Amino acid sequence: MPIVEVSGLNKTFGSGELAVHALRDIHFTVEAGELVALLGPSGSGKSTLLLCMSLILEPGSGRIVMNGQSVYDSGATGIDLRRFRRENIGFIFQANNLIPFLNARENISLALQLNGRSKRDATRRAQELLEYLEIGHRAESMPANLSGGEQQRVSIGRALANQPPLIFADEPTAALDTERGMRVMGLLRKIARERNSAVITVTHDQRMIEGFDSVYHMQDGRFVDAAEAAH
């Protein structure tokens, strides 16, 4: 069963002559355990697609089904979007956006506690995740005292905390050098394989596209093939 099914998705900002068609008739399917890249230049619509699939931005029309549940069908479907997001989607950001007043373990533990885990259980699970990401020794460190790569790993840990079937990564390697970027991409691949989570990554970093199961090129709000994108 596909984890994400997007069909006929459109999104337009503004109206009349000023209308910007950010998404045009997007059809898109992602399977569990699949590592997908959304590639495209700035303004191509990849971030808008990510926001729509993240249930943060309401599309104009179309249909989104996630984990077998219809979450958008040319209008709201009445589900609690924030709760659905909490239980089904993990986020990894370009700037990692860790909560600066929580240490590494607390950043992960918070996501678990928000999902109803007890403090003790959440702390134990957060420590396990940090060990899995090979930064268990940095559990007590505040984000400001972590390197960029370490911060990104904590961010990945937070995204994995509730074992979501779907992870969105927005330019996860943009702030990292090539070596650290490669390591993060390796980690995302490992997560997709070992945890059977679908990982959809928005990037314009051509260095990182090797190893993705599927690569979608976006241009002017629609998917184009690689040749057209290169042209």
Partner 1 sequence: MDLAVKDIRRHVGKFIATIIGVGLLLTIVLVMNGIYQGNIADGVWLIENTGTDLWVVERGRGGPFNESSRLPADAYRSVAATPGVARTGPFIAYSAQREIGGASQQFTIIGYDVFGGLGGPGRIASGNAIRAPHYEMVADDKLGLHLGESVRLGTRSYTVVGITHLAVDAGGNPLVYLSLPDAQEVLYQQDGRALVAARAAGLKRLELSGYNPEQAAKLLPLLAGATDTISAVLLRLAPGADAEAVRARIRDWLYFNVYTMDEERELMLEGRLRRMSAVLGLFRSLLVVVSIVIIALIVYVLTIEKIRSIATLKLIGAPNSVIVRLILEQSLLLTAASFVFAWSLVQLIGERFPRTLVFLPQETAVTFAVMLAGGVLASFLAIGQALRTPPQLALGG
C-alpha span between 27 and 8 (Å, rounded): 6
106 binds partner 1 (CB under 8 A): yes
203 binds partner 1 (CB under 8 A): no
Q: Which of 4, 30, 50, 104 binds partner 1 (CB under 8 A)?
A: 50
| 150, two tokens | 């370490």
Q: Which of 32, 102, 182, 215 binds partner 1 (CB under 8 A)?
A: 102
Q: What is the DSSP string of 2-53?
A: EEEEEEEEEEEES-GGG-EEEEEEEEEEEETT-EEEEE--TTSSHHHHHHHH
Q: Which H/E stretch holds residue 200?
A: strand 198-203
Q: Cβ of residue 171: shortest distance to partner 1, in angstroms?
A: 9
Nearer to partner 1, 121 or 210 (CB): 121
Residue type, 183: R
14 binds partner 1 (CB under 8 A): no
Q: CB-based contacts of 26: which residues, under 8 Å, 6+ apart?
A: 6, 8, 9, 10, 49, 62, 221, 222, 223
Q: Cβ of residue 115: shortest distance to partner 1, in angstroms?
A: 7
Q: Which of 51, 64, 154, 160 binds partner 1 (CB under 8 A)?
A: 51
| 63, two tokens | 């249909």
Q: Which of 14, 41, 82, 128 binds partner 1 (CB under 8 A)?
A: 82
Nearer to partner 1, 30 or 55 (CB): 55
Total binding residues toward partner 1, as defined by CB under 8 A? 32
Query: Do the strands 69-73 and 61-66 form a parallel or antiparallel pair, or are they unpaired?
Result: antiparallel
- Contact footprint for partner 1 (CB under 8 A): 47, 50-51, 54, 56-57, 82-83, 85-87, 91, 93-95, 97-102, 106, 109-111, 113-115, 119, 142, 158, 170
